[in-house]
């Protein structure tokens, strides 16, 4: 993995542990020689990941819609800044420019990006690792719900392991290094669906 799309919030929660987590992730990726592909903003966890990666000498590629550039939230310090017109183009660029995905704490937009990466892996639109950093127990409920969806039968057995979970970035990256693509829906027989 030489580049990872990093999904995280553009907000700065009151608990400073979240921003420190984001900075630690940015530094760790840069120190491991892994470039960051992210939402291109300078606020919140997004900005903290990017700043820390850049300070550690890492590559940071921002992908941001024109509407957010117009609001002056773009991080112009990025190694590269790609301006797109739509969120769909932004997410496609994340997939095209990266070798995998890491999701940090965030809100609705972050979860949208995570679920799309998982859905695309199920369908076979990519065969890249999808990591969820469950630091500070932030995603405990989501991890349990994902397991529940599989237990009920809405997530196929072959796809249970698409979402790779770790409590530290180091643990998560190690797990992602051992990723093996799942059999995709388009590779399955109709009766297996």
Q: pTM for the full model? A: 0.94
Are 131 and 34 contacting, i.e. CB atoms less than 8 angstroms apart?
Answer: no
Q: In residues, how long is the chain?
A: 193
Alpha carbon separation from 180 to 48, 128, 147 (Å, rounded): 30, 9, 19
Average pLDDT over residues 38-63: 98
Average pLDDT over residues 84-100: 97
Residue 183's pLDDT is what? 81
pLDDT tens, residue by residue, 152-170:
999 999 999 999 999 999 9
Among 9-13, 102-106, 152-156, 181-185, the least confident range:
181-185
Cβ contacts of 48 within 8 Å, gap of 6 or more: 19, 22, 23, 26
Residue 184's pLDDT is what? 81
Q: Which domains does the chain have, with CATH numbers?
A: 3-192 (3.40.50.450)
Cβ contacts of 44 within 8 Å, gap of 6 or more: 8, 9, 10, 11, 12, 19, 22
Q: Which secondary-structure segment (H or E) carries 81?
A: strand 80-84
Distance, CA of 102 to chain centre: 3
């Amino acid at each position: 993995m030489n580049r990872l799309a990093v999904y995280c919030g553009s907000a700065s929660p009151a608990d400073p542990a979240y921003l420190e987590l984001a900075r630690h992730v940015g530094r760790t990726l840069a120190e491991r020689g892994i470039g960051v592909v992210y939402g291109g903003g300078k606020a919140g966890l997004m900005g903290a990941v990017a700043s820390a990666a850049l300070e550690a000498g890492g590559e940071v590629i921002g992908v941001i819609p024109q509407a957010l550039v117009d609001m002056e939230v773009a991080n112009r310090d990025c190694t590269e800044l790609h301006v797109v017109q739509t969120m769909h183009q932004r997410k496609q660029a994340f997939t095209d420019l990266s070798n995998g995905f890491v999701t940090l704490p965030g809100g609705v937009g972050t979860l949208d990006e995570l679920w799309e990466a998982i859905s695309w892996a199920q369908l076979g639109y990519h065969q890249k690792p999808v990591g969820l950093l469950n630091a500070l127990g932030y995603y405990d409920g989501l991890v349990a719900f994902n397991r529940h969806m599989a237990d009920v039968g809405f997530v196929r057995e072959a796809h249970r392991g698409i979402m790779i979970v770790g409590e530290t970035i180091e643990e998560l990256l190690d797990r992602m290094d051992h990723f093996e693509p799942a059999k995709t829906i388009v590779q399955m027989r109709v009766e297996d669906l």
